[in-house]
Amino acid sequence: MSNTSLADQNLAQLANWLMYSAIAVYLLAFVAACAEWAFGSRGPGGRTSAGSSAEQQTPVAPSRGRTRSAVVGGASGSSTQVLAPPAAAPPEKPQVPVGDGPGAAGSSPKADLVGRIGVSLTVLALLLHSGSVLTRGLAVSRPPWGNMYEFSTAFALMASAAYVGLLAARKPVRWLGVPVLFSVLLTLGLAVSVLYVDSAQLVPALHSYWLWIHVSAAIISGGVFHTAAVVSLLYLFRDRWERAAAAGREQSRAAALLGRLPSARTLDKLAYRLTALVFPLWTFAIIAGAVWAEAAWGRYWGWDPKETWAFITWVAYAAYLHARATAGWKGRRAAVLGLVAFATFVFNYYGVNIFITGLHSYGGLPTK
């Protein structure tokens, strides 16, 4: 059966070019997002010491000074990774509610402009990216998530769409740009370099409309879980910063960047809401998978490695949701659980596909 006509090959080629363009634009957007952080506190607001850390409920805080200001964060460049202050365990103090930070740009209008440019670039990259996924789907006349390359690009699309979606819903989440774009770039980079396979038809096992339902639910869940994980990670850093700030300890310059993030409470809530929003969808993805498995293999649950790890992911997220309501587990421990849960999701994708053989071996990787 000859399946790749010339037109399809051209479309597939177009999909590849769109993908490379998307990566290039994502890269620019990433640089802009980093620059926003780097130049953020150079503005006038960065130097004024508001001093107070009064309660502030609304997430939008235009020019909220940091508790320990007068630190010009520009010198530390774009490295938001070096964050933890070299401090001992924080003393058990009743925590003062800390207000939300001003956002990545601080109060510098210039940095704000750079940040806006970054967002525009992200949107452009997202368009190119969706164009690539779409043309790839058209080139093969089927849902474009039949192998690891396609799944990765679709997953990265969802991760970046979740971020842009939050922005579109007027949530002040531009501070998410750096980590989200970082992992989107990482995923796409892996996809085009390691996981790439040419467009091709599917094996008969994947000829089913459940491919649309089951896999797209998994991809969307993944994209949102990813955003939640990034927020949880930032929560852990910010929470530590707040404790140190409350204790009045000296903090490193890099840590001062954390002052521009929303408060730990806001971050924790956001991570929880994203997870709670998408947990039913993940449940649905597993159920849809079970229904498909029943139609394809004659049993709805068989402890195939993919099924097992989907189950582990589900249980881990269930544990996270319970932990948020359990005394002694709220806060940091719950956030760590959320991160562990996302790690199991990632392992289910890369680990199970590459290292473990099972019925879900459709990666299309040349590792036979």
Partner 1 sequence: MRTALILLLLLALAAVPGSLVPQEGRQPAQAADFRERNPNLAPLLDKLGFFDVYSSPWFAAVYLLLFISLAGCIVPRILQYVRTLRSHPPAAPKRLDRLPQHCSWTASADRGEVLLTGADLLRRRRFRVAVHMEGNGSVAAEKGYLREAGNLLFHASLFGLLIALAVGSLFGTTGQKLVLEGDSFTNTLTQYDDFSPGTLASADSLKPFSFRLKGFSATYQRSDPQRGTASSFVARLNYSTSDGGPSRDTLVEVNKPLEVDGSKVFLLGHGYAPVVTVRDGKGEIAWQGPAAFLPQDGNLTSTGVIKAPDARNRNGKRDGLGFTGLFLPTVQLDLNGWRSSFPATDDPALVLTAFHGDLGMDSGKPQNVYQLDSSRMTQFRKADGSPFAQALRPGDRMTLPGGAGSLTFDGIKQWASFQIARNPSNSMALWSSVAMGLGLCASLFVRRRRVWVRVEPTLSDRVRITVAGLDPSGTDRTAEEVAELAEELRERYPDLKNVKADVETPEPLPQEQT
**Least distance in Å: CB of 135 to partner 1?**
18
Does 242 sit near partner 1 (CB under 8 A)? no
# of chain residues touching partner 1 (CB under 8 A): 58
Does 192 sit near partner 1 (CB under 8 A)? no
Looking at the chain, the number of H-run helices and the number of E-run strands are: 12, 0
Query: Which residues in the 301-360 window bind partner 1 by CB under 8 A?
Result: 301-305, 308-309, 311-312, 315-316, 318-319, 322-323, 325-329, 337, 344, 352, 356-357
**Least distance in Å: CB of 202 to partner 1?**
8
Q: Which residues contact 252 (CB under 8 A, 6 or more apart)?
A: 82, 85, 86
- Selected binder of partner 1 within 86, 204, 248, 367 (CB under 8 A): 204
How far apart CA 312 and CA 220 sit, in angstroms, is 18
Report in angstroms the alpha-carbon separations of 357 from 187, 192, 367: 22, 23, 11
Q: Read out DSSP for 305-316?
A: HHHHHHHHHHHH
How far apart CA 134 and CA 120 sit, in angstroms, is 21
- Choice between 114 and 352, CB closer to partner 1: 352
User: What angle do the packed helices 264-297 and 332-346 form, to 10 degrees?
Assistant: 30
**Least distance in Å: CB of 306 to partner 1?**
9
Burial of 81 (0-12, 13-18, 19+ CB in 10 A): exposed
- Selected binder of partner 1 within 90, 283, 346, 354 (CB under 8 A): 283
How far apart CA 136 and CA 25 sit, in angstroms, is 19
- Choice between 211 and 245, CB closer to partner 1: 211
- Choice between 284 and 350, CB closer to partner 1: 284
- Give residue 232's Cα distance to chain centre: 10
> Which stretches of the chain bind partner 1, using CB under 8 A?
1-4, 197-198, 200-201, 203-205, 207-208, 210, 276-277, 279-280, 283-284, 287, 290-292, 294-305, 308-309, 311-312, 315-316, 318-319, 322-323, 325-329, 337, 344, 352, 356-357, 364, 368
